[in-house]
Amino acid sequence: MLVVLSCLAVPVSAQRMGESLAPFVPSPQPVVERMLEAADLRPGEVVYDLGCGDGRIVITAAREFKAKGVGVEISDKLAREAEDQVRKLGLQNRVSIVHGDLLNVDLRSADIVTLYLLTDVNDRLKPTFEKELRPGARVVSHDFEIRGWKPWRTESVNVTNRTHTIYVYLMPPRKD
């Protein structure tokens, strides 16, 4: 298993530089915690958050669940904010923020991938998940399904009079 121990810089193609696939809308902290609990996150596992924004999911994974986290964010500003927060909390040995394109990240070391992306973006990521994630890895999506996949678990969290839906998908054995 590959463990990323420092912040990485990943080249972003000129065509995609600054192009966001989804607006930055942070998941409320109770939803973040429930996403990680629903995924059955265990100490030492590796969580990738695609479109990590301020890094709250990977930071929570490290602080509360003793996991390792890799956040991927295309926005310079948000990636810097997330990196600053990781340093401030002293989590550099457990959390890495990759400034890059979430469509071009190697996910083979992920035990869990978290998402708060639109359904069409989830559709674009689906072939990567099927190719790179090993059997038993979990994909957790906040509010937006992955079409064609049946959730292993679905949960609802009510925060400030809004219901958030969490979809957890379990990667099946490979069909080789």
> What is the residue extent of each domain of the chain?
25-170
Range of lowest pLDDT (9-18, 50-59, 61-70, 154-163): 9-18
CATH number of the 25-170 domain? 3.40.50.150
Question: CA nearest 100: which of 124, 122, 76?
Answer: 76
DSSP state letter for 151: -
Q: Pick 2 or 65 by higher pLDDT.
A: 65
**95 exposure class (CB count in 10 Å sphere: 0-12, 13-18, 19+):** buried
Question: CA nearest 82: which of 103, 105, 100?
Answer: 100
pLDDT digit string (tens) for 134-152? 999 999 999 999 999 999 9
Give the confidence band of 96 by pLDDT, cuts at 50, 70, 90: very high
76-88 vs 56-65: helix crossing angle, rounded to 10: 20
Give the global pTM. Answer: 0.86
State the Cα–Cα distance between residues 58 and 41, nearest whole angstrom: 12
Residue in the structure block whose two tokens are 């957790």: 140
Question: In the structure encoding, which two tokens stand for residue 160, read together?
Answer: 């400030």
Predicted confidence at residue 24, as pLDDT, reads 74
Predicted confidence at residue 175, as pLDDT, reads 72
pLDDT digit string (tens) for 61-86? 999 999 999 999 999 999 999 999 99
- If one counts every other C-beta atom within 10 angstroms of the C-beta of residue 91, the result is 19
| 3-class secondary-structure state, position 39 | coil
Q: Are the C-beta atoms of residues 113 and 146 closer than 8 Å to each other?
A: no
